[in-house]
Structure 1
Amino acid sequence: MSFVAPFIESENVVELVRDKSKIPEKDYLIVDVRDNDFRGGNIPGAINVPARQLLDCGNDLIAKYRQVPLVIFHCALSQQRGPKAARIYNEMRHLTGEKGDQKVVVMRNGFDGWHARYHKEKDLIANYEPSIWGIFDDEDDKEQEEVENPYLAGIPKPSS
């Protein structure tokens, strides 16, 4: 039997993350299946289970989080790894005889879409390293960087 997980929109995930009455890993679980591309930022409360490791740790995930009503999978774009991981997780649940009402979904557009929409909202990205994404923000940050950079000491700042 093959399972296809439906998509959830990032706006719905934002509501969960920002709802202080909801507890990650209890009320919902976000499973980020990115590998090395996990570095540089993630959705707050997400756990990282690289897609290539899911078969090895899937039964442990199922056992540990069986009481969580909503499990959200995603990868970078949620086109390959995220949907496949959600399918594998659902199939493993079925094969182990898990009977709970757990809903398994895939976040549309993955972390790249999340980052594009929410990278400036500090409460929506944890462990964020903007330089990994090629983002060097605001002139204020650049001015502060120049003041603190010892290699620029004594070099006059350009006038605005």
Structure 2
Amino acid sequence: MTSTTQGSAAVAPLWHAAYPAPKIEAPSLTRETVLEMLRDGNNVSGRDFVLVDLRRNDHEGGSIRGSINLPAQSLWSTIPIVYEMFKAAGLRKVIWFCGRVFTWSRKSCCRLFADHIAERGDTRMQSLVLLEGIKGWATAGEEYVQWMDEYDEAVWHKSKS
């Protein structure tokens, strides 16, 4: 990787610049749909979906109950292993989210995983994006907050000064 120059200062390339461009578009789910899925599959062991929290250093304020943390920066090298684990667990939907409403990691990780699913000829598993990320979830009201572990209201309702 090489850095680029912007004005007089060198700018390092973004961490994800080394990864291939995803080929498949990222389908999405609304938080309402995911909340309904959580309610219907209240027993974690009986679910056919997994929620993947892609945050790394900004993993504060809580996360959606039952989600796993797989930082976006580590996904590329682990996709084959993660896929095999999810497949062995009988998962049909992998739902990706991160901390921001609009971000490269959520959509691109979803798309890179979808590419891997397609390359395997797997027509059962889907890779999906949670619209509006964890911030949209945590600020959507009490019915969503009840489905969070380690929820910290102060993190989600900081004043923008």
Q: Name the TM-score class by shorter chain.
A: 0.7 to 0.9
1:68 to 91, 107, 131: 91
Amino acid at match of 1:55: W
Q: For 1:37, what is the secondary structure of its paired residue?
A: coil
Identity of aligned residues (%): 24
- The alpha carbon displacement at 1:92 in A equals 2.4
1:35-78 superposed Cα distances (whole Å, 9 cap, x missing partner): 12222210011111111000122111101101201111111225
Greater CA radius of gyration, 1 or 2? 1
**Which is further off, 104-113 or 125-134?**
125-134
Q: Runs ≥4 in structure 1, deviation > 6 angstroms?
A: none
2:39 to 18, 30, 33: 18
Q: For 1:40, what is the secondary structure of its paired residue?
A: coil
Q: Which has the higher strand share?
A: 2
Q: Could you tell me which runs of 5 or more consecutive residues in structure 1 were left unpaired when the two chains were aligned.
A: 136-160
1:119-139 superposed Cα distances (whole Å, 9 cap, x missing partner): 57553111112233356xxxx
Structure-2 separation of matches of 1:25 and 1:80: 31
Q: Where do residues 75-86 of structure 1 align in structure 2 (5 Å cutoff)?
A: 75-76=98-99, 77-86=101-110
Give the aligned CA root-mean-square deviation in angstroms: 2.3
* TM-score scaled by length of structure 1: 0.73
Structure-1 separation of matches of 2:40 and 2:126: 19
* TM-score scaled by length of structure 2: 0.72
Amino acid at match of 2:24: F
1:93-152 superposed Cα distances (whole Å, 9 cap, x missing partner): 334x252411211011111110110357553111112233356xxxxxxxxxxxxxxxxx
Q: For 2:91, what is the secondary structure of its paired residue?
A: coil
Query: Who is 2:112 aligned against?
Result: 88
Structure-1 separation of matches of 2:28 and 2:92: 16
Decide whether aligned partners of structure 1 residues 31 and 25 sit closer, same or farther in structure 2, where only a CA change above 3 A counts.
Answer: farther
Count of aligned residue pairs for this structure pair: 134
Query: Who is 2:3 aligned against?
Result: none
- The alpha carbon displacement at 1:22 in A equals 5.2
